[in-house]
Structures are given as C-alpha cells and as structure tokens.
Chains A and B, each alone.
Chain A
Amino acid sequence: MSKGTGIYIIILFILPSFSVSGLTENNVNDPYFQKLEKDFLCVDGCGMALEDCSNKTAEQMRLDLFSFIDQGFTEIEIKMYMAGIYGSEVLREPLKSGFNLIVWITPFLVILAGFVMIFMAANKWVFSRKLNENKEKNIDPANNDLKLYSSLIDEERKKYF
C-alpha cells in the first residue's frame, strides 16, 4: 500500500467487518448462519437483505443472530426473537398466520379459480360442439364425408403452419 493519501483513506474508511464487530470467520461462514441471514432485512431503511448489507445496524443484527444460534434456539424461535427486537418488518418472509395468510393463499386461489373457469368454458364449448355435430350427423348422412374430408385437409394444413 502506498503512503500519503492512501493511509488517510485507509484510516478514514475502515469498514465494519466481522473482525471488528466481534464475529469470527467461523461464525460468518457457518452455513446455518448464512442460511438464516437470508431471512432477515436490514431495518435501517436501506432496503437490503441482511446478507448483502454491511452497515452498522446490519452488524449489530448479525451479532444478535449469532448469539441466538449460539444459545441453541430453533429457527422459529430466532425469527420470533429478532422480530421482538427489530419489529416484524425484519422478517423477509411474512409469517404464515393471521392476516398474512392473504398474501400466501390468494395467488393460488386466483389461479385455481381461473383454471376452473377456463375448464368450464372450454368444456361447455366442446360439449355443445359435439352435440351440434351429432345433430348434423342425424340430419344429413352425407355430412360425414364432408367432415372426414375437412378434417383431412385440416390435418394437412396444420403440418405446415
């Protein structure tokens, strides 16, 4: 590292890292710690996930997170404790209970309702079409030949488009 302005920058801009915040390399590289880090949001308004944030609030949150892991709390307990300290906004995934169920269930209900509507409409069209075809067959026996020729032409046409 060159002297002069470089030293100034280094002293002035030493960034918070695990070594100065009390966490060890083993702590931050623990897969369980990294997995849990993804579930929390830094709450200082930066909008970043805890795993991507390096500001002071995020460092404190990491310390708290590790202390809960160290005390042997389960994943759910850790989430509850973190929500207790930092508010429910800290959880990146809404809890699957109460009012939050709306956001979890509604998309699938909408898709299911859409699927039922499409199926019913398509079934109605196909059913009524078959009904008409049967009627036509009863009226005009020559129509069968026409249908046959028309379906053959359709098959041929579809091969090329």
Chain B
Amino acid sequence: MISFAYFSIYLALVFALFSFLFYLYGLKKGKEYYLESGKRASLVVAGIVIIDSIIMLIALGSSNFTVWYVANYTNRALPLLYKLSAFWAGNGGSLLFWELTLSIFTVMALYNRKLKNTPLLPYVGMVLAVNSIFFLITLGFVDNPFTLIDKQVIDGRGLNPLLQNPGMILHPVTLYLGYVGFAVPFAYAVAALFVNDNNDFWIRQTRRWSVIAWLNLGAGILIGGLWAYEELGWGGIWMWDPVENASLFPWLTATAFIHSVMMQERRNMLKLWNIILIFMTYLLTLFGTFLVRSGVLTSVHAFGDSAIGSYFLIFIIAAALFSVILIAVRYKYIKRSSGEIEALISKESSFLLNNLLFIGLFFATFLGTIFPLLSELLINRKVTVGAPFFNQVNGPIILSLIILMGICPLLAWQKANKKNLRYNIVIPVLAGLVALIILYISEMRNSWALISIPVIVFVMTTHIIEIVRDTFTRKKMSGENIPLAFIRLLLRNRRRYGGYLAHIGIAVIALGFVGYTQFTTKKIITLSENETVKTGNYTFTFRDLKEKRINGMDIVYAEMDLSIEGKFIRTMKPERVFYSYWPDMSTTEVSIESNFKRDVYIVLAAWEKDGRATFEIKIIYLVKLIWTGGLMLLAGTIFAVWAGRFGNKTPRYYLRKEEHDV
C-alpha cells in the first residue's frame, strides 16, 4: 500500500502533465474532446491524491514506522489526534496536504456548472494544473512522504512537543485552505486576461472563493495567535516574527482585494488594480511558504529546509514573470471602458484610500521582514527588525485604517451628500470624545490608549447607528415591528451587514490589542511552600510542587491559589512537561484564569532543591476581546458570503456595454 502511494505521486504528476497538455492542445485545435480530457485528468489527479492522503492517515494512525515520515514525526505514545495531525507536521506531509487541497479545489472550480461552456474554463484548468505539477514535482523529487526505511524501527521520534497543542489541529489546516484558496481566483484572473474578458465575470465567479480563502487565512492567523499565547516561547499572540508576517502579507493584499472588487462590481473601476492585487496575493502565498520552508530568516517558528525553499523561489520567480508579462501584453484591453470617480467625497474615494493604506501596511511589513536580508546583501551587516519597529511604523497606518473604517459606511456611492455626512458623523464623533473624556478623568495617561480607544468607540458607534437607522427606516416603510424589520434588513443585504459585523469584530480585536500591548504587567517572584505574595488586588499563595507521569511525559506542576480582592478564585496549575522521547526539550504549559477584563497568566519558570519555585505572573488586559472580535469577524464574513435568497444582490451604478447598446 505504501509502495503504491509512493509511486502514485509520480502517476499523479503524469496525469497533471496530461491535463495541462490536453488543455493546451484542445485550445490550439479548438476541440472540445481534448478540453474534456483535461478536466478528467484533473479528476484523476484529485482521486490519486485523495487515496494517497487516506493511506498517509492510516499509516500515521497505525504507527507504521516503515514509513520514514511516520517514524520521524510520531511515536506510539502520541495521542491519536496528534498522530493524525502530524500529516502536516513536516515538509513532505505539508506538501501532500497542499496538493490534496489544491486538487480538490481544482475539481470544484472546473466542475462548477457556471464555468461550463465558458471560454475561461481551459485556462483556469491549465493554471491550476501548473500549480499541481509544481507541488507534485516537489513531492516526488524533493520530499516524498511515503519513502520507506530499510531498517526496523521499534518506536518513532515523536512529534515536536511545541506542536502538541490543539492549535496544531486547526492552525495549519485553516492557513493552507487560505493559501490554496487564492489559487482559484488567480487562475480565473489569468483566464480572463487570456480571453480578453473585460467585464467582471471572473470577479463574480470568484467572490466566494476569495472571501472564504481570506476568512480561512484570517482564522488561521488568529488560531496561531491563540496557540502562541498559550505556548510559552513564541513570544505571545503576535510578535511580528518573519513567519507570522509571511501569513499576514497575503491577508493584507487580499483584504485590499475584497474591498476593491466592490468598485469593479458596482462602478466598473479598478480592473487592472484588482488583477494586480489577486496576482500579488497568490504570489505572496507562495512567498510565505518559501519564507517558512527555506529558513532564510531567523524565526521562532523554524521549519527550515533549503532544498524545498529553492524550488519555491524558482516557482515564485517564474510565476511573477509570467504575471508581469501577461498584464503588460493585455494592458490595453484591461484599461478599456473603465469607470471614473465622480466626486472626491464618495465611497469610491474611501475605498481607494483603504486600498492605499492596506498596501502601505503590507509594504511596511514586507520591507521590515526582508530588511535583514537586504542589509546583509547591501552593507554586509544583518540589521534586526523586530516588534518595536513594526509597532511604531504600522501603528499609525492601522489607526488610520480604523478611522477610515468608521467613515466609509457614512459615504454614499458616486457622490456623498456633505450635509448628510456632517449630520451622520456628529453622534459617533461625540461618542469618541465622551470616551476620551472618561479615559482622561479615570487618570488614563497612556497616549496609545487615549488615541486609539476613542477611535474604536467612534467606529463601533458609526456601525451601530447605521444599523439602527436602517432598521427604523425599514420599519417606517414596511410597517413591520422592530425585531422583524431588523432581521429582514440584515437578511436582505447580507453583504453589507455581514461586512458591518466584520468591521465591528475588527474594532473589538483592536481594543483587545490595546489592552494586551499597553497594559500588561509582569512580575517574577520566587516563593517557598505556603508563602503568599500580593500584587495589586491579586494574592498568590504557592501551595506545593508536584509531579505526575502521563503517556511518556513527566509533568512537574505547581499548585498556586489565586485570590482577587480577598476572594478565593481557584487553584492554578502551571506546568513544565518533559518528554522521555524528546529528552533535550521541555515545554511550559501556562495556567490562565480568564475573563473579559483581564487574564491572570502564570508560568512555572524554575524551581530549586529547597522546594522554592519561581513564577512569572502576568496580568494581561482585554485579551479575551481579541478572540471574541475574531469570532465576530468570522461570523460577519460567513453571513456576508452566505447565498440566501438575497445573497447575490449587487447594485451597479454603471451600465454594461450590452446595456448601453440596448
């Protein structure tokens, strides 16, 4: 079975090549038969890769240590869920998972009935086949996960202890779904350029693909943040590490894209820009993988393998060159009949600014991330660029984006009525000012909090007032009661109100980050048994240091009583875990007591022979809002892409060519 899987990778590669060649030949000869064969070859590729993935899961689950990958990433003591999640723990497995997702997405895209009989189909198929060919080459010739071991292995090496966390089950999967998801809109955009399709068909067909890929990428980033928060050693939720930044690059350009496509849908604008954005997003998903896999930059999340890195680099350069040449060749067709802005104060202008700021944010992050390489290349000195730099440079850009997020819903398409704008903005601005005054009276003197919290309040108020106002307008017009008017209002324009919920989610996340970055306090204390220490309203009593053994792990844990304002809350148990099969590494499992106001975060840092133990205690404010805002963002996005009866209603403020002709 394993040997079949090993060789079937090459078989899949042959079929992917067939698929590409059938499309090419079919297009050249204009014969439907060959195009259909291309589609079927993609189906065979997907079938083979699905079977291979099932074989990999069986090998992992059954601890088949004749397979090098299974022996290298799992062992017998590992819980089944982690054995299975080792699928994406190493390079070979990750590539197989990428190819699995890509081949399934390819079949979904090609067999979409809306694409049937359109001239785009063969080009979409060709682009996706090229992607498949690349991943199958790396699988077959760099890191075949089904390689067998010639000697007998009794037990495997085990999964890296840092990866034994529920985050491991979800974080890589969501990230990959996001990364691979962007291959489909990219393929459509390339196809649209090939056939000189100058309208927004490709945009409409790929809107859901783009938004769902964006959603997965965002969810992956958030889950990664949660994982890093709980796993000591990764520097907290977000530390602007190169690998973290690599996942943010495509998310930023994709966020710009999902906003700017609305300009094309409604106003027939930014056609070229949208193509550039989706090309950039796709290339950045590859670049992110290159950064993670090549090890060219120092990162706390190291998965270096230079051989795979160089393959990715070659593919990225080839894809970038292809994209630039294609745009250059088709430039005059894209530019034809593009819409224009009618007024400086309009939703269109705010979208342009939104795109500018997102691209600015991307550029700042990108430059900061690659600057160590750049400096080494140009001045022969590696300059470190870390969180303090990114906070200083990106902070103002993010704040500007949040302000814009508050103003944008108040602006109308084409031309905003200045009188209405002034009228609508008064209450949100007042709400922001009230927040500022309250903060100041409460003796808040942190400048970041004094600036950003009023801005966040302004944004939330804008959105809430818009929803309330629209509900009352509907009630007045339809005679429905308020709850019914509210529900029907939301259901009949899911994109708008889903977007609003996502915006509120972003504002809540921003509020969480203000608390997390600005008000965290840290104390390191050493306590003897039954010794108590008081810090602020929090009292900690170290009761005992204990040890237990579970599944080949020796766990040393402390029992620490937490009381707040004299009231006992609970006994917290921070741990340090030692792995018998991974002797040179231990992990620190933090203990967290959480509510919406603050997290009490305790780390067992060290202990002495005389029974004393050292703890790192952090009080972290508002961190739960980051996860809550993330859930709101997810819910809003799902609501916005949910089809429903009125899901695809998009008004256009321009006439298509055929409408002109009529």
Contacts and interface: CB of A to CB of B under 8 A. Distances in A.
**Do they bind each other?**
yes
Interface of A: 1-2, 5-6, 9-11, 13-20, 25, 28-29, 34, 38-39, 41, 45-49, 51-52, 54, 88-94, 99-100, 102-104, 106-108, 110-111, 114-115, 118, 121-123, 125-126, 129, 154-155, 157-159, 161
Given A19-B612, A46-B300, A155-B417, 12 more contacts: A19-B608, A29-B524, A47-B300, A52-B239, A99-B379, A100-B383, A103-B368, A108-B393, A111-B360, A115-B353, A125-B342, A126-B343
Contact of B389 (A54, A93, A108, A125): A93
Contact of B387 (A88, A92, A129): A92
A13 B608 CA distance: 10
B259 to A, nearest CB: 14
B526 A19 contact: yes
A107 B360 contact: yes
27 contacts: A1-B544, A1-B546, A5-B554, A6-B554, A11-B609, A14-B607, A14-B608, A15-B606, A19-B526, A39-B388, A41-B386, A48-B300, A49-B239, A52-B233, A92-B384, A94-B383, A94-B384, A99-B378, A100-B375, A103-B383, A111-B356, A114-B359, A118-B353, A121-B341, A122-B341, A123-B344, A125-B341
Contacts of B382: 88-89
Contacts of B484: none
Interface in B207-246: 232-233, 235-236, 239, 241
Interface of B: 232-233, 235-236, 239, 241, 298-300, 302, 340-344, 349, 352-353, 356-357, 359-360, 363-364, 367-368, 371, 375, 378-379, 381-389, 392-393, 397, 412-414, 417, 473, 493, 496, 522-526, 544-547, 549, 554, 556, 576, 578, 586, 605-609, 611-612, 614, 651, 653
A100 to B, nearest CB: 6
Interface pairs A-B: 8 shortest CB-CB: A92-B386, A107-B364, A17-B606, A6-B547, A111-B360, A93-B388, A15-B606, A125-B340
A114 B418 CA distance: 25
A18 B340 contact: no
A129 B346 CA distance: 15
Contacts of B389: 92-94, 103-104
B215 to A, nearest CB: 24
Interface core residue of A17, A25, A155 (most chain B CB under 10 Å):
A17
Nearest to A11: B609
Contacts of B547: 1-2, 5-6, 9
A154 B414 CA distance: 9
Contacts of A51: 522
Contacts of A104: 389, 393
